[in-house]
Chain A
Amino acid sequence: MTALAQRVPSRFLPVLATVILFVLAFGVGSVRYDGFASGQVIANLFIDNAFLIVLAAGMTFVILSGGIDLSVGSVVALSTMVTAAGLRAGWPVPLVIIAVLLIGSTLGLLMGLVIHKFDIQPFIVTLAGMFLARGLCFLISVESVSIKDTTFRDVATAVIELPGGVTITYNVIIALLVVLAALYVLHRTRFGRTVYAVGGNEQSALLMGLKTSRAKVGVYVISGFCSSLAGLLFSLYMLSGYGLHAVGMELDAIAAVVIGGTLLAGGVGYVLGGLVGVLVLGTIQTLISFQGTLSSWWTKIVIGVLLLVFIAVQRTMMRGRFRSLA
């Protein structure tokens, strides 16, 4: 173990800690409950959290750049609403998908522009975006709108058989593709490196001649795009559009990213960390449902505690780093 720790670069340690946490949580479940350690339970972690994986990928970009996006949950709700209302009005499915993705990206672009051009805190701008998106949901309809379109329902219920009799949905494939794309953009493009640089030190990045403004606005467009895509996945999952869908989901996404080892101060973190963070949250939920007697609100408390532990650890790591620099 110590030999392994020495060989792994220290920047991977937070992600590694999360992976170990995931394995531990899953191990505890496997030992305590029959049928926990099955391929299908793992597949269900992905199926039930596909939208959260996509959200976390988008949120990773924003947090890496040193910002925060509180609007994601509301944009998910708005996307389910637009999808449901669009299909009810008889729009073809491709048109609905394009409309939803455009709306999400445009909202992200607007928020990014306001944050960057007027130098207003991301927190308050995305808070306004959160209000706006939720309000727009209710402008479309105050009631829940169910999705009856047959094409959409077919995609939602279609399953893909994997070896070993494990089944997954198309949602999982899309979520994993998003993670791959995010990995590529963050590590193999100039834009991705600029995002890290801006999060590390915006002033230095600017002085180095990097296109910081494009990165600062771009991360919110990506987050908006991911939120609307997650909204599409969520409407596939719920088969309805409703203004009260995904209340508080922004907190789950932020929690997943932080538990995945991304520093809230920006500049340090990985997309895969967010993915593992989502899996940890999903495992906790599964554990609580297998346990049976614990009520679902324990999930919130456990997430809060985990969030706290990881932030505290981050804090001490940061202090350690500054001390070693001095």
Chain B
Amino acid sequence: MKNRLLWPLIALAALLVLNLVVTPSFFALRMQDGHLYGGLVDVLKNGAPTLLIALGMTLVIATRGIDLSVGAVAAIAGAVTCVHIGSSGDAGTAFVGMAIALVLCAVLGLWNGFLVAGLGIQPIIATLVLMTAGRGVAMLVTEGQIITVNNDPYRQVGAGFVVLPISILIALAVLGLVAFTTRKTALGMLIESVGVNPEASRLAGVKSKTIIWTVYVFAAVCAGIAGLMISSNVSAADANNAGLWIEMDAILAVVIGGTSLAGGRYSLTGTLLGALIIQTLTTTVYTIGVAPEVTLVFKAIVVIAVCLVQAPKARAALSFRKVAVS
């Protein structure tokens, strides 16, 4: 386990050192009006939605699935909440709006779970349906407009502070919750067993289908919360661009963290590290003054490198060479 997390840790450390070299004040933290500011806090704050979605994605991937629809679901969550809030400024409306959005996300998760566990469609394809149609639905909700709201309680979710930014606290709370429920109970092991072999697990008495439904619902709700953060941070819902490509970032974070795409094992700490690496990478690209769009090239290189390191065939080739040398 430690060995598996070594490389992500080294990568993260290297990125942080690079930032320190470019901007010496990167690690400086300062308190202002009871709020904590600084480069590291920014990384955490901007990485919170990715971390949340990656947490949901970790469990989905552990069952040998994948959820491509999370970006669209995030856009729907933001759109529904902002439309419900409208021009209202009071807290009640904001909370009702968020509750409606999250319930809706859970329903969308049920839908994905139904396609995968109920109909037995390959996860990539099953969630592709919602990925395509979901943005259309979000556009339908906002009627193609970017909806702006002016609601202070809602703004707190993505931009508020309780010493640390609230979005970080939410993401960490969800991380803690997942870690507790899956690692302190048998749930995590059951999820892994479904990932290794759903049929064998079913025969062994594990409710495979229920577990698959559950992880897709959880992933969708995580995506919903992330969507709320993204939309609340800018006090607007943009059906087209909110959460665009975030599913790719989330998958990347999970893979970097050492969770195998073949399912059967997962590491929440790894996912946390993966999400931090991605956000730090993005920040680094900004600070060293390369056009932000070029981040995609770096991400591509990271994906390929990580996959090659994970691939049994590549490992075999490497260890063979080591044996030959020694």
> Which of A12-20, A40-48, A203-211, A308-316 is the contact stretch?
A308-316
Establish whether residues A124 and B255, one from each chain, have CB atoms under 8 Å apart when the complex forms.
yes
Complex: how many Å from CA A138 to CA B130? 29
Is residue B248 within 8 Å, beta carbon to beta carbon, of the partner chain?
Answer: yes
Q: Which residue of A lies closest to B297 (CB)?
A: A135
Establish whether residues A131 and B137, one from each chain, have CB atoms under 8 Å apart when the complex forms.
no
Complex: how many Å from CA A75 to CA B177? 41
Is residue A176 within 8 Å, beta carbon to beta carbon, of the partner chain?
Answer: no
B296, B298, B299, B314, most chain A CB atoms within 10 A = B296
A170 → chain B, closest Cβ, in Å? Answer: 31
Within 8 A of B (CB), among A214-267: 243, 248, 251, 254-255, 258, 264-265
Which residues of B are interface residues toward A (Cβ below 8 A)?
66, 115, 119-122, 124-126, 128-137, 139-140, 143-144, 239, 248, 251, 255, 261, 291, 293-301, 303-304, 307-308, 311-314
Complex: how many Å from CA A307 to CA B300? 28
Partner of B297, one of A139, A142, A251: A139
Is residue A148 within 8 Å, beta carbon to beta carbon, of the partner chain?
Answer: no
Establish whether residues A121 and B261, one from each chain, have CB atoms under 8 Å apart when the complex forms.
yes
Establish whether residues A124 and B303, one from each chain, have CB atoms under 8 Å apart when the complex forms.
yes
Given contact pairs A124-B307, A297-B239, a sample of 16 additional A-B residue pairs in the complex whose CB atoms are under 8 Å apart: A68-B124, A117-B313, A125-B304, A127-B248, A131-B296, A132-B300, A135-B296, A135-B300, A142-B293, A264-B125, A297-B136, A300-B135, A301-B133, A303-B133, A305-B133, A312-B121
Establish whether residues A120 and B300, one from each chain, have CB atoms under 8 Å apart when the complex forms.
no
With contacts A295-B139, A303-B133, A304-B130 known, is A119 near B311, CB below 8 A?
A: yes
Tier of interface size on chain A: 35 or more
Q: Which residue of B lies closest to A264 (CB)?
A: B125
Complex: how many Å from CA A117 to CA B313? 8
Complex: how many Å from CA A255 to CA B136? 15
Establish whether residues A304 and B129, one from each chain, have CB atoms under 8 Å apart when the complex forms.
yes
Q: Which residue of A lies closest to B138 (CB)?
A: A297
Can you spell out 9 A-B residue pairs with CB atoms less than 8 angstroms apart? A119-B311, A127-B248, A128-B304, A132-B297, A248-B132, A251-B128, A297-B140, A304-B129, A304-B134
Partner of B133, one of A119, A139, A304: A304
Q: Which residue of B lies closest to A254 (CB)?
A: B128
Query: Which A residues are in CB contact (< 8 Å) with B311?
Result: 118-120
Complex: how many Å from CA A312 to CA B126? 10
Query: Which B residues are in CB contact (< 8 Å) with A305?
Result: 133
